[in-house]
Chains A and B, each alone.
Chain A
Amino acid sequence: MIAPHALPALLPVLALVAAIDAYCLVDLARAPSVRFAPKLVWVLVILLVSSPLGALIYLFAGRDRARPEHDGRDSGSRGPLAPPGPGEDLAGRVPPGPPALTTTALTRDYGGTGLFDVDLRIPRGSIYGLAGPNGAGKTTLLSLLAGLRHADSGTVSLAIPRHRVAVCPDVPEFDGWLAAREVVDLARSLAGPAASTSTSTSTSTSSLPPADAALAAAGLAGAATRRVAGFSRGMIQRLGLACALAGDPELLILDEPAAALDPAGRAELLALVAAMRGRRTVIFSSHILADVQRIADHVGILRDGRLLYQGPVRDLIDTYLQPRWLLRIAGDTAPVAAELAAQPWATVAAAGPGALRVDATSIEAGERGIPAVVAACGARQVSCEPADADLESAFLALTAASTPVSTGAGGQR
């Protein structure tokens, strides 16, 4: 039916079909995994289903474009985060000066929810924890600070160049077909000239190229050449941090940076952030108050879009510290409990074997009276420590009181 002179016309068609089949077979051989069926079945589909239909079916259905490892604990390629050493100079110590960032009456109204009249003051070189329950407005506030959303009213004043600000969202995402090193290189090149002249991020990685150093600092040293599509959520979060660090930012905005990390990873990340104190200004949001207390020197408490408090963490705890102590006694607690109960300033309750919970009418009354009572009874005191003296207790007290914006002793409006 087909004339001999038409054969040269058929050859390109056959070559195209063969090329598509060959591409699919090579892709299948190189793929770590495929979808819906074993590799052998896909080989049969490509070869036996009418060419190139089988190959096209494989391309659109069988190809595994993203192979996330769902385990928060990542593969062996994940290394520990590498906080900078004490003598290391990342971007040089941030000199004292005006606050890195201030906002004035910042408002974004989403119809009753959002953010209202927020006056932030982020000291330069500080680690500022933004705490609050879910829906308090933390992410909205960070988006406004990062310039990703517009305020209805109010101002954001940056004392540092905009290109020296890096943002890492709570769920970073990247193109899956890029290798981790390529993602960091992209972030680094987009960060501008400051990043290209920056030194490495860790003493132990100073000999590495900058992108590799940033990956090592984020605990991804062994995954530099791996494609992002195969990363777990924890690894993606580390990669987001590596991208932020690669730009050598003066101001780092982290939204729930430890949300996807396992406990060990979280501890490493917090140590890394804590080590930036004085070198960069870090604003990070978290609803895990223990994390904020652990690394932040300043804290802002948001609820329902309003800033309830900002200032040093210690001041917040001290302000809301209850005059309550946990007293541990070696031996019988009954004589001490009886003596304390007889005091007009104290109420006492058992708090387990060898322990008493003492409530005083004031901090001073407790601090003076408890040692005196213990000494008078001739009891052996094991310890006496303030009860509920943590950020969580202060936060609960603050939010329960529905106090309007207040500022700690060391904080400023």
Chain B
Amino acid sequence: MTITLSPAAARSLWLLEWRRLVRTPRALALAAVYVAFGLIEPLVTRYQNQLLRTVSHGVRIQLPPPAAPQALGAYTSQVATIGLVVVVAIAASSLTFDTRHGLAVFLRSRATVTQLVGPRFAASAAAAALAYLLGTLAAWYETSLLIGPLPAGRVLAGMACGVAYLAFAVALTVLAASVARATIGATGIALAVLLLIPVAGAIRVIGRWLPSSLVGAPAGLTGGAHPLSYYAPALIVTVVASGAIMAAGILRLRNREI
């Protein structure tokens, strides 16, 4: 079925996604999770020795003084799990538009799958990226105050890598939504794949090429463990794979009947 949308119709689909973000707790949940971790993780890192003393019951545990990249690393490792779950769940909730039959009829008799998926993917990815950037800025601010400065250029490069990974996660959710109609099913499939990719990364040869290696980029770059060029293969794979799996997802959705 070919449906050509006017500019006004395309605008209305973008407006729909904006409203979805701001009228439901989606935007708030994303921002709250990322900013909360951005604010809390540097605090925990800075006062880890004091925190350990309060729970060690006489056993003396002394960690070395924290370094600034360590605080950023603690933040990225937290958002790579809990933050990712929130991002995928929120993306899946808007991308599984076939879950409710009446809504699917309303949307798919008026717009093509590509027209529907485009704004949903972009809005989910943009909201996730914005939340991630806010959280990273919060972590950077806290780290600078409590522990010490971070190299600005490397932090920004690490943020770009993180954003690319989140876009990959949302693209993977498009494909998951074409496999499972239900939001919970699509969320589960996407998360399972995202959590399995780092397992494959244990193979040294391919580890550098996997999108999951981008998760540690902020800490790796600021700590001087790797130069930016180290992450270039993963960045290229992530961008290409995002496009490919989204195209596959759209194709599958297009062929799905409601």
Residues of A within 8 A of B (CB): 1-2, 5-6, 8-10, 12-13, 16, 20, 23, 59, 63, 143, 146-150, 162-163, 165-167, 169, 171-175, 177-178, 182, 185-187, 189-193, 196, 240, 243, 247
Chain B residue nearest to A9 in the complex (CB): B145
Residue in contact with A177 in the complex, picked from B20, B43, B106, CB distance below 8 Å: B20
Chain B residue with minimal CB distance to A55?
B32
The distance in angstroms between the C-alpha atoms of A150 and B57, with both chains bound, is 69
B154-183 at interface with A (beta carbon < 8 Å): none
- B120 contacts the other chain (CB 8 A): no
New A-B contacts (14) at CB < 8 Å, excluding given A178-B16, A196-B8: A6-B145, A9-B145, A13-B40, A16-B32, A146-B105, A148-B257, A169-B106, A171-B102, A173-B103, A185-B12, A189-B11, A190-B5, A191-B110, A243-B106
Q: Are B8 and A186 in contact (CB under 8 A)?
A: no
Mark B1-33 against chain A: 1 for CB-CB distance below 8 A, else 0: 111111011011100100110011100110010
B19 touches A177 (CB 8 A): yes
Given contacts A16-B32, A148-B258, contact A167 B8 (CB under 8 A): no
By the criterion CB–CB under 8 Å, are A169 and B46 in contact? Answer: no
Q: Beyond A12-B141, A20-B32, is A173–B106 a contact (Cβ under 8 Å)?
A: yes
Contact of B101 (CB < 8 Å), options: A173, A187, A191: A173
Q: Which residue of A lies closest to B25 (CB)?
A: A59
Say whether B43 contacts A10, CB under 8 Å: yes
The minimal Cβ–Cβ distance linking B70 to chain A, given in whole angstroms, is: 16
Is B229 on the interface with A (CB-CB < 8 A)?
no
Do A9 and B142 have beta carbons less than 8 Å apart? Answer: yes
Bound-state CA distance A190–B116 (Å) is 11
Interchain Cβ contacts under 8 Å between A and B, 29 examples: A8-B145, A9-B145, A10-B43, A12-B39, A13-B36, A13-B39, A13-B43, A16-B32, A16-B36, A23-B28, A143-B258, A148-B108, A148-B257, A149-B257, A163-B3, A169-B102, A173-B101, A174-B102, A174-B103, A177-B19, A177-B24, A187-B110, A189-B8, A190-B13, A190-B110, A190-B111, A191-B110, A192-B5, A247-B110
| Max chain B C-beta neighbours (<10 A), residue from A10, A23, A175, A243 | A175
Q: Is B102 a contact partner of A240 (Cβ separation < 8 A)?
A: yes
Q: Tell me whether A12 and B142 are in contact in the complex, defined as CB-CB below 8 angstroms, given that A169-B101, A173-B100 are known contacts.
A: yes
Expressed in whole angstroms, the Cα–Cα distance for A10 and B141 within the complex equals 11
Chain A residues whose C-beta falls within 8 Å of the C-beta of B50 in the assembled complex: 1
A147 CA / B158 CA spacing, docked (Å): 46
CA distance A3 to B43 in the complex (A): 12
Is the CB of B74 closer than 8 A to any CB of chain A? no
Q: CB-CB < 8 A to A165: which residues of B?
A: 109
In the complex, chain B residues whose CB is within 8 Å of the CB of A143? 257-258
Q: A147-B109, A162-B2, A187-B110 are in contact. Are A12 and B138 (CB under 8 A)?
A: yes
- Bound-state Cα–Cα, A146 to B108, Å: 10
Nearest-neighbor residue (CB-CB) of B143 within chain A:
A9
Chain B residues near A20 (CB-CB < 8 A): 32
Provide the residues of chain A in CB contact with B40, threshold 8 Å: 13
Chain A positions within 8 Å of B20 at CB level: 175, 177
For the residues of B in contact with A, the DSSP-based class is: helix
Give Cα A81–Cα B4 distance, bound, in whole angstroms: 32
| B9 smallest CB distance to A (angstroms) | 5
* B35 at interface, CB cutoff 8 A: yes
Contact (A2, B47) CB under 8 Å given A171-B101, A189-B9: yes
- B42 CB-CB contact with A under 8 Å: yes
B247 near A: Cβ within 8 Å?
A: no
Question: Roughly how many angstroms separate A186 CA and B109 CA in the complex, as a whole number?
Answer: 13
Q: Interface centre among A148, A177, A240, by most B CB within 10 Å?
A: A148
Which residues of B sit under 8 angstroms from A163, Cβ to Cβ? 3-4
Establish whether residues B109 and A16, one from each chain, have CB atoms under 8 Å apart when the complex forms.
Answer: no
Q: In the assembled complex, which residues on chain A have CB atoms less than 8 Å from the CB atom of B257?
A: 143, 148-150
For the complex, give the distance between the alpha carbons of A238 and B124 in Å.
31
Q: Is the CB of B19 within 8 A of A162?
A: no
Give Cα A1 to B47, complex, Å: 9
**Given A6-B46, A190-B111, does the pair A174, B141 have CB atoms closer than 8 Å?**
no
Closest Cβ–Cβ distance, residue B72 to chain A (whole Å):
14
Q: Does B146 interact with chain A (Cβ within 8 Å)? A: yes
CB contact under 8 A between A146 and B109, given known A6-B46, A9-B146: yes
Q: In the assembly, what is the distance between CA of A171 and CA of B104, in Å?
A: 11
Q: What residues of A have a CB within 8 angstroms of the CB of B101 in the complex?
A: 169, 171, 173
B39-A172 in contact (CB<8A): no
Q: How far is the CA of A13 from the CA of B36 in the complex (A)?
A: 7
B111's nearest neighbour on chain A, judged by CB, is A190
Bound together, the chains give a CA A66 to CA B66 distance in angstroms of 48
For B13, list chain A residues within 8 Å (CB).
190
Residues of B within 8 A of A2 (CB): 47
How far is B11's CA from A5's CA once the two chains are assembled, in angstroms?
A: 48
A-contacting residues, B54-75, CB 8 Å: none
Residues of A within 8 A of B42 (CB): 9
Measured CB to CB, the closest approach of chain B to A152, in angstroms, equals 12
Q: Are A6 and B105 in touch, CB under 8 angstroms?
A: no
A192 & B9 in contact (Cβ 8 Å cutoff): yes
Q: Which residues of A contact B46 (CB under 8 A)?
A: 6
With the chains together, A6 CA to B71 CA distance in Å? 15
